Structures are given as structure tokens and as C-alpha cells.
């Protein structure tokens, strides 16, 4: 037999959770031809010596905002390198309610700013999945893409940006558009219930759409309405949607935000476990950091977002600022109250008009005589797309969630410029270095399962995520003793702390 590639002498962790074994892996074309024992006389064009290395399936990042990376300007972030360098070979996009389709031309022209803010410069919009796929096919792709349909895209096309209940006809229009997207190969639907216009949907609207998902055997992923002091209610809403429709529910980037809520992940995970024990198909994903990242606008009250970005100009009025201040004070601990009670935890990550402010907190920027909330308002009026990193989580919660058997890994990486969150380039290697090796929060086999076999099964990537004959040859080879993340808040795209020089490719 003649293979294209032989990965020889490594320890295979196959992604299913079974123990490691010494094995060679032969690849022909883009498929795994044989996993040890190799028949006699295997020859390969290239032999990769994997002695002292582990060989695993390519990692599957279940939560990204890189939908239009290949279509955007050719930068390092957009190239796919931040994923590939940490072993990620497949990306699930269209998360948190944002996808570049199905968006009508009218909506793309008038409201595209919101998606550009969420998805990065160069974001483009498409009427349907085939148009999106055709555009992607014109450009070289880095990792594989598996898109979800964003509920925000469906709702902005059918309803617009108003804070109101959708009519029966509008719900039918959204259901039809989702039905088409799923028939055309979408992997599920996401909501972003803190972002307009997804946030304006009552539970019943999502249940109607979830029935369409259930019919197609696809899943529902959700950035829930609250991840702080009302996280329990938010989980209950997600569970109710699953119960009413029969759809599998995936809680996106599960976390507990706000110092007074620290430790509460024990309760949230119990809630999820008991729903699961009651027969509900619910699971979750998580990124391995104690800071989140989103648009600065997401820290503002819902009424400000009614009607879309135009409403942001109201922040020039003092009454509006006072109303925001009052509401932030009563929001309860969490990201939404951070504007008034913890502005030092809110750090600007991207501000196109003020790159000098990137890396600085609202408290620092306001200075001794300024007010951080005024600073936030000024920045938003000038540029509603300002992005922030919010340091409001606790390491014990992150560790507990990551180690939970139902949790898989999703970076939540995006395309934003400036000093983006290091999760874009470091989430997977951070799990392997910090949480598996240094902290022993979970073992290597389990971590690999959470990055490969488990997400492939959860999201329906039929031929990926496991090392076995006939599967796609998406493979990663690494040294478990040295693998670690290099990306930091100061240097967010750095691939790794040190590059081992010993990895070698030997010709046969």
C-alpha cells in the first residue's frame, strides 16, 4: 500500500474518550487510510516522526464569529492561522444570533452596521446559504466552516430592529427562512438574547423556530438572556425551549459573571444535570478564560437598542445618560452593572477611532475627574462598534464548567481588530497547557474528547472528530509536555510561549 502521509511512532488519542495507544496513522488523500496495526509494506510519500508526541483528531471549535473571515481583508486574524496554530481544523460559525445570511439586501444596506460591529470589518451579507457558500468557494479557506443560522439575521429580515412581538406572518417567514437554510446545509440555529434584534424575541417565538430545528434533527445554541444574577432564569428559558420543541439545546459559552455570583456554577450545572436526568438533551460549551468580550453596547439597557444603532445617538442627552445610570445601578451584579459598579473591569479591546485607548479600562480613560459611564457614552456615540473585554469571572467557576462532562470547548473568537480577546488564538492550547497539565482539572483524553469526538457528535459533523479508518484526515500532532497558549491580553495573537524545535519531518 502507498500512502501520502504516515504519522509514525506517536501515541494516538482518538477522540472517543478511549485510552491512548501507540499507533501509526496512514493518510491517503484527505482520508485516514489505516490506523495501526499497519499492513506490511506500507510506503508513504511523507513520514512524520511523532515519537513522544500525541496524535489526535483536528480540534473542532464550536463557537466562533469568523463567518466572513475568508471574505474579509487578508490579515493574520482573518487568515485562519489563529485557529490552525492551536490545532483547530473546523469552526462552527453563526453564533450568538449573528450570521451573514439569510439577510435581505434592504436590511444589509440599512442595518449592516450591527453585523459589521459584531463580525468585524469586511463582513458581507447573503440572501441564502448557497450565495454564502459560492462566495466562500472563491477564496482559499483555512479551517473548515460549519455555519449555524443566526436568529438575529432571521429576525432583522422579517421584523427589523424594533422591540416588539413578531406577528404570526413574520414568525412564519422566519420559520420558512430557517427551514430553507437547514435544507441547504446549516447545522442549527443560534440566538443572542442580549443582542438586538434577537433579544426582542419572546420565548414562544424561539419555540416556533425550534420546532423547525427539531424537524431537521438540528440543534439550538443560545447566548442566554442573562449570565449573571439571573442566569438561573435564563437556563430555565433554554430548557423550556428544548422541552416544548424536542430540540437539543446547547448553552453557549456558559459562565457566571459578577463577583457576588461567583461560585454559582455549582447550582447552574446541577440545574443542567437534573434537566438532563429528566430526559432533556442539553449540553454546553465554555472558553477557558475569566474575562468575556463583547460590544460595549451590550452593557447598555435594552430600551436603548430599540430601533437599532440610530438610537445610540440619544446618549448625547443628559436625561438618557441619567436613565442608563439609574438602570445600571439596579441591574444587579454582572456585566450590565459594571458601567457603574466596576468600570475598572471593562477594558477597551477595539476602538477604531481611538486605537490609543485599546488595552485601557473605562476607569483609566475617565481619569480622576471623569465619570466612566460618561466615557462609555462618549465612545459609543462616536462609534457604536467599540468592543470591550470584561474581567468579571472566577477561576473556580471556569474550571468547574470546563471539567463538567457535558461541556465542550468553544473559543468565542471573533475578527475584531485592536487588542482582541486572546481566546481567538489561545483557547485550545490553554486548555491543554493550563487546565490539563498545570492544574490537572481534567485529563488529556477527556480534554481531547471535548475538543473532537464530542463536538463532532453534538453538531453532526459526521466524518470528523475521531481517528478511524475512512474519517477525514484532520489531524493534530503535539507535545503534551510543552503545549501551551502564547496569546495574552497584551499580545492577543501570539501563537505560543515557546516553540519547541524538536518536531521533525523525515522523508522516507
Q: Does 96 bind Zn ion (CB under 5 A)?
A: yes
CA nearest to 408, candidates 79, 65, 88, 12:
88
Angle (nearest 5°) at CA 502 between 496 and 505: 105
285 binds Cu ion, rule: CB under 5 A? no
Specify burial of residue 138 (Cβ count, 10 A radius: 0-12, 13-18, 19+): exposed
Q: Comparing C-alpha atoms, which of 50, 38, 36, 44 is closest to residue 4?
A: 44
User: How crowded is residue 508: how many other Cβ atoms within 10 Å of its Cβ?
Assistant: 10
How big is the chain by its Cα radius of gyration, in Å?
23
The 3-state DSSP class for residue 444 equals: helix
397 binds, among Cu ion, Zn ion, none (CB under 5 to 8 A by kind): none
Asked if residue 16 binds Cu ion (CB under 5 A), the reply is: no
State in angstroms the smallest separation of the CB of 65 from Cu ion: 6
Secondary structure tally for the chain: helices H, strands E: 17, 19
Does position 474 bind Cu ion by CB under 5 A? no
Name the residue nearer to Zn ion (CB basis): 15 or 97: 97
State in angstroms the smallest separation of the CB of 415 from Cu ion. Answer: 12
- Which listed option, Cu ion, Zn ion, none, makes contact with residue 85 (CB within 5 to 8 Å by class)? none
Query: Closer to Cu ion at the Cβ: 24 or 412?
Result: 412
Is 223 a binder of Zn ion (CB under 5 A)? Answer: yes
Task: Return the residues of window 32-71 that contact Zn ion according to CB under 5 A.
Answer: none
User: Which residues ranging from 71 to 100 are in contact with Cu ion (CB under 5 A)?
Assistant: 95-96
Phi, psi of 395 (to 5 degrees): -60, -40
Comparison of 223 and 421: residue with beta carbon closer to Zn ion: 223
Contact 389, 338 (CB under 8 A): no
- The distance of closest approach from Cβ of residue 131 to Zn ion in the complex, given in angstroms and rounded to an integer, is 25
x/- mask, Cu ion, residues 405-424, rule CB under 5 A, reads -------x------------
* Size of the residue set binding Cu ion (CB under 5 A): 3
Cβ 53 to Cu ion, closest distance in Å? 32
Complete DSSP assignment for 89-136:
EEEEES-TT--S-S--HHHHHHHHHHHHHHH-TT----SSHHHHHHHH
Residue 252 has which C-alpha cell?
453557549
Residue nearest to Cu ion (CB): 96
CB of 105 to Zn ion, least distance (A): 27
Shortest distance in whole angstroms from residue 461 CB to Zn ion: 21
Applying CB under 5 A, the residues found at the interface with Zn ion are 96, 223
Interface with Cu ion (CB under 5 A): 95-96, 412
Amino acid at each position: 500500500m502507498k500512502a501520502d502521509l504516515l504519522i509514525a511512532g506517536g501515541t494516538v488519542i482518538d477522540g472517543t474518550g478511549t485510552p491512548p495507544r501507540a499507533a501509526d496513522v496512514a493518510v491517503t488523500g484527505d482520508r485516514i487510510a489505516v490506523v495501526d496495526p499497519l499492513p506490511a509494506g506500507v510506503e508513504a510519500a511523507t513520514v512524520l516522526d511523532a515519537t513522544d508526541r500525541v496524535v489526535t483528531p483536528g480540534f473542532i471549535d464550536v463557537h466562533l464569529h469568523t463567518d466572513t473571515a475568508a471574505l474579509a481583508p487578508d490579515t493574520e486574524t482573518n487568515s485562519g492561522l489563529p485557529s490552525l496554530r492551536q490545532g483547530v481544523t473546523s469552526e462552527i460559525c453563526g453564533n450568538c444570533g449573528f450570521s451573514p445570511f439569510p439577510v435581505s439586501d434592504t436590511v444589509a444596506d440599512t442595518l449592516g452596521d450591527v453585523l459589521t460591529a459584531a463580525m468585524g470589518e469586511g463582513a458581507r451579507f447573503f440572501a441564502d446559504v448557497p450565495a454564502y457558500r459560492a462566495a466562500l468557494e472563491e477564496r482559499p479557506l483555512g479551517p473548515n466552516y460549519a455555519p449555524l443560522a443566526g436568529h438575529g439575521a432571521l429576525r432583522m429580515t422579517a421584523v427589523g430592529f424594533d422591540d416588539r412581538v413578531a406577528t404570526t406572518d413574520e414568525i412564519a417567514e422566519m420559520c420558512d427562512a430557517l427551514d430553507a437554510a437547514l435544507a441547504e446545509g446549516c447545522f442549527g440555529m443560534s440566538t443572542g438574547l442580549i443582542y438586538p434584534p434577537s433579544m426582542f424575541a419572546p420565548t414562544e417565538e424561539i419555540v416556533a423556530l425550534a420546532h423547525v430545528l427539531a424537524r431537521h434533527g438540528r440543534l439550538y445554541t443560545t447566548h442566554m438572556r442573562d449570565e449573571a444574577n439571573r442566569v438561573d432564569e435564563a437556563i430555565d428559558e433554554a430548557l423550556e425551549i428544548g422541552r416544548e420543541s424536542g430540540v437539543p439545546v446547547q448553552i453557549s459559552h456558559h459562565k457566571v459573571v459578577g463577583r457576588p455570583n461567583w461560585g454559582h456554577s455549582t447550582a447552574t450545572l446541577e440545574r443542567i444535570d437534573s434537566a438532563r436526568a429528566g430526559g432533556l438533551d442539553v449540553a454546553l460549551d465554555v472558553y477557558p478564560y475569566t474575562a468575556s468580550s463583547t460590544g460595549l453596547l451590550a452593557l447598555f439597557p435594552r430600551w436603548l437598542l430599540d430601533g437599532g444603532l440610530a438610537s445610540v445617538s440619544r446618549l448625547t442627552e443628559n436625561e438618557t445618560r441619567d436613565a442608563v445610570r439609574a438602570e445600571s445601578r439596579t441591574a444587579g451584579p454582572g456585566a450590565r452593572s459594571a458601567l457603574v459598579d466596576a468600570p475598572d473591569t471593562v477594558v477597551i479591546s477595539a476602538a477604531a477611532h481611538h486605537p490609543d485607548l485599546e488595552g485601557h479600562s473605562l476607569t483609566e480613560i475617565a481619569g480622576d475627574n471623569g465619570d466612566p459611564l460618561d466615557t462609555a457614552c462618549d465612545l459609543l456615540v462616536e462609534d457604536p462598534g467599540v468592543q470591550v473585554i470584561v474581567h468579571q469571572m472566577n477561576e473556580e467557576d471556569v474550571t468547574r464548567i470546563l471539567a463538567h462532562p457535558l461541556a465542550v470547548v468553544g473559543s468565542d473568537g471573533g475578527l475584531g481588530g485592536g487588542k482582541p480577546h486572546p481566546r481567538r488564538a489561545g483557547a485550545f492550547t490553554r486548555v491543554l497547557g493550563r487546565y490539563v497539565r498545570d492544574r490537572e482539572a481534567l485529563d488529556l483524553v477527556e480534554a481531547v474528547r471535548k475538543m473532537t469526538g464530542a463536538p463532532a457528535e453534538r453538531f453532526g459533523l459526521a466524518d470528523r472528530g475521531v481517528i478511524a479508518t475512512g474519517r477525514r484526515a484532520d489531524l493534530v500532532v503535539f507535545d503534551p509536555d510543552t503545549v501551551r497558549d502564547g496569546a495574552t491580553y497584551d499580545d492577543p495573537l501570539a501563537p505560543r510561549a515557546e516553540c519547541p524545535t524538536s518536531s521533525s519531518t523525515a522523508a522516507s
